[in-house]
Amino acid sequence: MNSHPNYALITGASKGLGYMLAQSLARRGYHLIMVSLPGENLEQKAREIQAETNIDARYYECDLTQKKELERLVFWVKQNFSLQILINNAGMGCTKAFDELTVDQTDQILSLNIRSVVLLTHALLPLLQKQKQAYVLNISSLAAFLPMPYKSVYPASKSFIYSFSRGLYAELKGSNVFVGVVHPGGMVTNPEVSQRIRKADGITKATILSVEHTAEICIRRLLKQHPMIIPGLMNKLVWLITRIVPDGWILAYLRKDMKMADGKTFFAARETIGKDVVDEENAGP
Ligand SMILES: NC(=O)c1ccc[n+]([C@@H]2O[C@H](COP(=O)([O-])OP(=O)(O)OC[C@H]3O[C@@H](n4cnc5c(N)ncnc54)[C@H](OP(=O)(O)O)[C@@H]3O)[C@@H](O)[C@H]2O)c1
């Protein structure tokens, strides 16, 4: 093993898609830097992957919505690692009427889904450029192509990721840094998503793929340098529909679908964001 002397950094690697992406890279022999919020057993997850695959799995706990914490992460990575892959996976959403969202909730979504991706990519690009071949993968969503009532901020943030990734891909084309973007459909990962998928019908249910399968597709296609990845046939079909069918029809359908999914629980699990402090001493095994 250990055929790759360099590291892959994955944000949001404690669970869900991020954890599966980490596993998929470890199976291919990449060393890992796993990043997520404090207090979610990240050390244990890193140890498990390390034991299973014999790669070096480091971890770093921080809140990526906090600029200072993000800067400390960047400093630690620059000091200690040669980086070959950056996967901007951490993201959050909320299904709620826009006028019921608080300013803080909206700000968290924008800070994590947009600002942290741009700042981290910008700060780590020089490190990636030192490699013979390096990769950036940004996790967008099929929602990037579907403006959604009752979820208006999240899809808009993912449209930003789509546009940012495609622009950067073109800018760096021909260089040693490849930039890809992935648009997953539904995956049963966190409780908010599970609840929404259970309540939804139609498009949302039809696009569901397992998180393991999605992660495998992401890594395989990233390493083959596919610039835009849409996992699953149904998701490709939905994407095609969004290109052909008028916006108004899609919005009328989604208004019904999303209203049924309107949930109010998600932010209860996020109350600690911003209160946690980075402990650089603990970062690493
Ligand atoms: N699930 C879906 O159906 C779906 C569909 C399309 C696209 N996506 C996208 O796929 C990505 C992963 O989604 P998921 O469902 O796997 O998410 P998830 O299960 O909720 O996991 C999110 C990860 O991000 C981390 N995270 C959240 N806030 C953070 C912060 N402020 N700072 C640092 N880390 C933070 C979490 O850390 P903790 O564990 O420490 O909280 C966790 O590791 C997201 O970008 C999402 O938008 C998901």
| Per-residue confidence (pLDDT) for residue 201, from 0 to 100 | 64
Q: Whose CA is nearest to atom 34 of ligand 1?
A: 36
What does the mean pLDDT of the chain come to? 88
Residue 42 Cα: closest atom of ligand 1: 40
User: Mean pLDDT, to the nearest integer, of 167-184?
Assistant: 98
Distance CA 68, CA 90 (A): 17
Using most ligand atoms within 8 A of CB, pick from 34, 73, 87, 92 the residue to mutate for ligand 1: 92
261 pLDDT above the threshold of 70: no
Residue 143 Cα: closest atom of ligand 1: 6
| Per-residue confidence (pLDDT) for residue 263, from 0 to 100 | 45
Q: Please give the DSSP secondary-structure letter assigned to residue 230.
A: -
272 pLDDT above the threshold of 60: no
**CA distances from residue 252 to 93, 149, 270 in whole angstroms, order as listed:** 21, 9, 31
More reliable by pLDDT, 261 or 233: 233
Residue 17 Cα: closest atom of ligand 1: 16
- Provide the pLDDT confidence category of residue 203 given band limits of 50, 70 and 90: low
Q: Which sequence spans correspond to the domains of the chain?
A: 7-275
- Provide the pLDDT confidence category of residue 165 given band limits of 50, 70 and 90: very high
Using most ligand atoms within 8 A of CB, pick from 187, 205, 210, 211 the residue to mutate for ligand 1: 187
Q: For residue range 110-139, what is the model confidence (pLDDT) as tens digits?
A: 999 999 999 999 999 999 999 999 999 999
Q: Which CATH superfamily is domain 7-275 in?
A: NAD(P)-binding Rossmann-like Domain (3.40.50.720)
Q: What are phi and psi of 184, to 5 degrees?
A: -70, 155
Q: How far is the CA of 93 from the centre of ligand 1 (A)?
A: 9
281 pLDDT above the threshold of 70: no
Residue 184 Cα: closest atom of ligand 1: 6
Distance CA 59, CA 279 (A): 11
Q: How far is the CA of 269 from the centre of ligand 1 (A)?
A: 12
- 10 Å CB burial of residue 185 (0-12, 13-18, 19+) is buried
More reliable by pLDDT, 209 or 261: 209
- Provide the pLDDT confidence category of residue 202 given band limits of 50, 70 and 90: low
Three-class DSSP category at 68 = helix
| Per-residue confidence (pLDDT) for residue 259, from 0 to 100 | 66
Distance CA 19, CA 116 (A): 19
Helix (H) or strand (E) holding 10: strand 7-11
SS3 content of the chain, % helix, strand, coil (to 5): 55, 15, 35
Task: For the full predicted model, state whether its pTM sits above 0.85.
Answer: yes
Q: Whose CA is nearest to atom 1 of ligand 1?
A: 187
Other CB atoms within a 10 A radius of the CB of residue 170 amount to 11
Give the bridge partners for 34, in sequence order.
10, 59
